[in-house]
Amino acid sequence: MAADYREDIDALLRHLQPHSMLLVGEDSRTVAGDYLAGCEDCRVEAVAVDDLPGVLASVGRFEFALIDGELERLARADAAIVLGRLRDLHAERLLWVLPAAEWPVSELLSLGLYRAGSYEQDGRALHVYTFDLYDYKPTPDWLNSRYWAHPELFDKFWW
pLDDT of residue 145 exceeding 80, the answer is no
The rounded distance, in Å, linking the Cα atoms of 117 and 133 is: 18
Query: Which residue(s) pair with 114 in the sheet?
Result: 130
Mind listing the pLDDT tens digit for each residue in 57-92? 788 899 999 998 778 888 888 889 889 999 999 999
Share of the chain above pLDDT 70, in %: 94
38-47, 125-134, 135-144 — which is least confidently predicted?
A: 135-144
Q: The whole model's pTM is what?
A: 0.81
To the nearest whole number, what is the mean pLDDT of the chain? Answer: 85
| Higher-pLDDT residue of 77, 139 | 77
Evaluate whether 61 touches 91 at the Cβ level (below 8 Å). yes
Q: Where are the beta strands (DSSP E) in the chain?
A: 20-24, 43-47, 62-68, 91-99, 114-121, 124-132
* Positive or negative: CA dihedral 26, 52, 109, 91: negative
Q: CA angle 80-86-89, nearest 5°?
A: 125
The rounded distance, in Å, linking the Cα atoms of 13 and 35 is: 7
pLDDT of residue 1 exceeding 50, the answer is no
pLDDT of residue 151 exceeding 50, the answer is yes
Cβ contacts of 61 within 8 Å, gap of 6 or more: 20, 89, 90, 91, 92
Mind listing the pLDDT tens digit for each residue in 20-30? 999 988 788 88
Evaluate whether 74 touches 82 at the Cβ level (below 8 Å). yes
Q: What are the respective helix, strand and coil percentages of the chain, to the nearest 5?
A: 35, 30, 35
29 burial level (CB within 10 Å; 0-12, 13-18, 19+): middle
User: Which domains are seen in the chain, by residue range?
Assistant: 5-153 (3.40.50.150)
